[in-house]
Homo-oligomer: A and B are copies of this chain.
Amino acid sequence: MGINFRVDGADPSCKGRIGSFQTPHGVVKTPVFMPVGTYGSVKAMGPEETRALGYGMILANTYHLFLRPGHETIRELGGLHKFMGWDGAILTDSGGFQIFSLKNLCQVSEEGVRFASHLDGSRTLLTPELCVQIQEALGVDVMMVLDQMATPEDPMEKAREAADRSARWAARCLAAKTRREAALFGIVQGGFDPELRVKSATELSAMGFDGLAIGGLSVGEPRETMTAMIEACVPHMPADKPRYLMGVGTPDDLVIAASLGVDMFDCVMPTRNARNGSLFTSAGKVNIRNAQYAKDPAPLDPDCNCPTCARFSRAYLRHLFMSGEILAMRALTTHNLAFYQRTIMAIRAAITEGTLGTWAERLLAPAGEEAP
């Protein structure tokens, strides 16, 4: 078994590539962006709507589903795909990121992470083995190893310890895996030190995962730090396995990271921003609360063919948003997810045309440099 990742084309102007891999729930073309469905629902979207926007793979959160409704409940009900009515592919994170970032009284030891539920305070020891068991109970297509991340404030020594422990935990996850049809990805850590990143990437590459992720980025560091870490990792990650940049990012981040050789992305940004009234458009950001849209009959983005732009004016969307209508959340989320999917399609097209490198360079250029 394997996910049969195949590189179908590369952009000579950068490290960008297009490809595909197989899952029990369909072929996934890369680069791919995965909308986030924390509790088994991409917020505000029905599964058929997410699919209709072109998405074939989503991310769900192991930690949240473990606490509610519980992985055994989902297993009894036929697995996460059946539970949520989604027939595309599903990747679950390991839960570690939530445990560390929710700071819910977590204590880390070699054994695992002991944490208190943010819902009822109940205490659990999440070991690498349990992490895999939970994801296997959910029946997802791609599982992630339990890892320990460093924050930008952590001293180098702490980042090194976290990366070393992550590597040991990764090996334990691999050993605990029993479902042949599910893929398991390792996660490169190493904080913000290029050498630690290289060491982590090299160690994890040797373990035989189905793919490798770059973890611990997009946690508040400057963009150049993030791109430096990606550039440090990528050459030491297998070229014949998908590379997944966790929790990233803005549409520009996607372009830049894809040009550095990243194949997979997930981020709450399109869905969360939409619920806050912040929209991505081809003319830049739009905050729908702005009074200037109160009588604006134009669609959010004239260049967008999503159901929201086909149907509703900015004036109506603003009215719905200001009135607290649920339809606002739906319509705005739909638009942002459509924008992200269009960005991904544009990235794939640019790779085919050999222009992704130029596109990324333009985004990375200091402001003003590109003026005529």
A residues apposed to B, CB below 8 Å: 39-41, 43-47, 68-69, 73, 76-78, 83-85, 294-295, 297, 311-313, 315-316, 318-320, 322-323, 325-327, 329-331
Contacts and interface: CB of A to CB of B under 8 A. Distances in A.
A325 B331 CA distance: 15
Given A295-B73, A330-B46, A316 B39 contact: no
Q: What is the count of identical protomers in the complex? A: 2
B83 A325 contact: no
A273 B319 CA distance: 24
Contacts of A294: 69, 73
10 contacts: A39-B319, A39-B325, A40-B319, A41-B320, A44-B326, A68-B319, A77-B295, A83-B315, A83-B319, A85-B311
Nearest to A325: B41
A122 to B, nearest CB: 16
Contacts of A78: 297
A85 B297 CA distance: 12
A245 B313 CA distance: 34
Given A295-B76, A320-B39, A69 B315 contact: yes
A313 B77 contact: yes
Contact of A41 (B83, B295, B318, B327): B327
Contact of A319 (B44, B69, B85): B69
A1 B323 CA distance: 36
Contacts of A319: 39-40, 68-69, 83
Contacts of A83: 313, 315-316, 319
A327 B77 contact: no
A40 B326 contact: no
Nearest to A296: B77
Contacts of A316: 40, 77, 83-85
Nearest to A320: B41
Contacts of A297: 77-78
Given A40-B316, A73-B295, A316-B40, A68 B322 contact: yes
A297 B318 CA distance: 39
A323 B74 CA distance: 15
Most chain B CB within 10 A, of A44, A47, A76, is at A44
Given A41-B325, A43-B326, A326-B43, A77 B320 contact: no
A9 to B, nearest CB: 37
Contacts of A76: 295
A348 B331 CA distance: 35
Contact of A325 (B43, B322, B323): B43
A40 B312 CA distance: 12
The list of the 3 closest CB pairs from A to B, nearest first, reads: A44-B326, A39-B323, A69-B319
Contacts of A84: 316
Contacts of A329: 326
B68 A323 contact: yes
Contacts of A44: 326-327
A316 B40 CA distance: 9
Contacts of A69: 294, 315, 318-319, 322
A313 B82 CA distance: 9
A208 B76 CA distance: 63
A39 B316 CA distance: 10
A78 B313 CA distance: 11
Contact of A77 (B46, B315, B330): B315
Given A39-B323, A41-B325, A73-B295, 18 more contacts: A39-B319, A39-B320, A40-B316, A40-B319, A41-B320, A41-B327, A43-B327, A44-B327, A46-B330, A46-B331, A68-B319, A69-B318, A77-B297, A83-B313, A83-B316, A83-B319, A84-B316, A85-B312
